[in-house]
């Protein structure tokens, strides 16, 4: 079985939940919910971004990892309304915890923060959603 990091398992689960949620795909096509590092991003788009894994060393097994995952929203618009609406759809979609697969259990997931800012190009709004998750690893 392929060994996957907890952060990558979470990223795949987040994408799967977002593309399966009509309230999200009504605002952003599933084909524009991506993991890529390229600008300009399609408009509108959701770009699965950076992740940080922090060991929750509160047990001898060291099987708990806290993950901070950033989701970026891009939309060509004069205001922040569209990016803010997409942020809200992401938040609502992730209220129901996604499944991570056989190697991990998602013990907790919350939206740590969501904000919308104006991009320096003057024509794009940028949403930033930070997800905080506690993941338990199964196995030896």
**Which residue shows structure tokens 């919910």?**
33
Q: 21: closest CA among 70, 94, 127, 75?
A: 94
CA distance 80 to 88: 12
Q: Is 138 exposed, middle or buried (0-12, 13-18, 19+ CB in 10 A)?
A: exposed
- The pLDDT value recorded for residue 32 is 93
**Which residue shows structure tokens 């096509």?**
29
pLDDT tens for the chain, residues 1 to 140: 455 789 999 999 999 999 999 999 999 999 999 988 766 667 899 999 899 999 876 665 668 899 999 999 999 998 999 999 999 999 999 998 888 888 899 999 999 999 999 988 888 999 999 999 999 988 65
């Amino acid at each position: 079985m392929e060994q996957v990091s907890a952060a990558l398992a979470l990223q795949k689960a987040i994408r799967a939940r977002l593309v399966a949620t009509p309230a999200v795909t009504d605002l952003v096509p599933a084909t524009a919910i991506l993991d890529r590092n390229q600008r300009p991003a399609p408009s509108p788009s959701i770009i699965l971004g950076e992740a940080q894994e922090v060991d929750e060393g509160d047990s001898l097994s060291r099987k708990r990892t806290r993950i901070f995952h950033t989701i970026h929203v891009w939309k060509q618009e004069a205001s922040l309304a569209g990016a803010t609406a997409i942020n809200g759809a992401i938040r609502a979609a992730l209220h129901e915890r996604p499944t991570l697969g056989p190697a991990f259990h998602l013990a907790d997931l919350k939206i740590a923060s969501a904000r919308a800012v104006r991009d320096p190009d003057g024509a794009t709004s940028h949403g930033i959603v930070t997800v905080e998750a506690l993941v338990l690893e199964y196995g030896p």
